[in-house]
Amino acid sequence: MSSDNDTPLTPTWGPLRSFGRIKSRTLKPRQAALFDTLLPTIAVPDPKAGPVDPKVLMPEATEAWLEIGFGGGEHLAEQASRHPTALMIGCEPFLNGVGSALRHIEERGLNNVRLHADDARDVMAALPDASLDRVMILFPDPWHKARHNKRRLIQDESAAEIARLLKPGGRLRFVTDWKDYAEWALERLERTPGLEWTADRADDWKVAPEDHVVTRYEEKKLGDTDPIFLEFVRT
């Protein structure tokens, strides 16, 4: 974990704690090897060097999705497998998660995934307006303590950035298993111009969408509630 004295990579919104490349345990040999062989072929070009255009990353793609914080990559790989004509951009600063994702990508032979093994904010800032069809945020760090709430991924600034990136009709899915984070995120997303909550009844946020992919993290049930699914559309 980076120290409080480190400088965030892109301090344009939210003093996120989990910036930079982070490794919590030794990478397995196979995963470590994939950092040298597979990752260079599917890595998102350095977003600090210039714009990141989905049309350049995968010219034949019919859609472009972004998953912010893909964890072990199970959800990202499964969605990529289900939607082979969609470009899947995944961002994750934890190297162990990136290593796991690389293994999933290799085993499934996926050609439509591009990874950024670092802070998602850099990629988001480099993407053009209205360039994404979907943004997925599943079980982000809840940062429970009130003094740490400012480190949560969902802030007014990040919500506005997501709205900027989504095409008209594009969708955001935010999932958490912590009640207070769901309330926090809903409050900020609802007041973001251009984003509209799609829920009409309780089941719309209590029942998983048909295309939801259950991950190992979700199965651990570490939160204080069943998963809450917040779906927003770009108006």
Residue 25 labelled as part of a binding site: no
Residue 37, annotated ligand binder? no
- Parallel/antiparallel/unpaired status of strands 166-176 and 132-138: parallel
Both structure tokens of 24: 């919590």
What is the set of domains in the chain, with CATH numbers? 29-234 (3.40.50.150)
Residue of 46, 53, 141, 203 with catalytic role: 141
Would strands 195-197 and 228-234 be described as parallel, antiparallel, or unpaired?
antiparallel
Beta carbons of 27 and 99 less than 8 angstroms apart? yes
Predicted pLDDT at 44: 98
Is there a binding annotation on residue 215? yes
For the chain, 235 residues long, give each residue's pLDDT as a single digit of tens. 233 333 333 334 444 444 344 545 788 899 999 999 999 999 999 999 999 999 999 999 999 999 999 999 999 999 999 999 999 999 999 999 999 999 999 999 999 999 999 999 999 999 999 999 999 999 999 998 888 899 999 999 999 999 999 999 999 999 999 999 999 999 999 999 999 999 999 999 999 999 999 999 999 999 999 999 999 999 9
* Whether residue 141 lies in the annotated active site: yes
Which residue matches tokens 């344009």? 12
pTM exceeds 0.75 for this model: yes
Q: How far apart are the C-alpha atoms of 67 and 96, rounded to whole Å?
A: 17
Is 106 assigned a ligand-binding role in the annotation? no
Contact 155, 15 (CB under 8 A): no
CA gap 114, 66 in Å, rounded: 10
Q: State the pLDDT at residue 100.
A: 96
Tell whether 145 is in a known binding site: yes
Amino acid letter, 131: S
Hey, how many other C-beta atoms are within 10 angstroms of the C-beta on 228? 19
Q: How far is residue 16's CA from residue 23's CA, in Å, rounded to a whole number?
A: 17
pLDDT for 127: 98
pLDDT at 146: 87
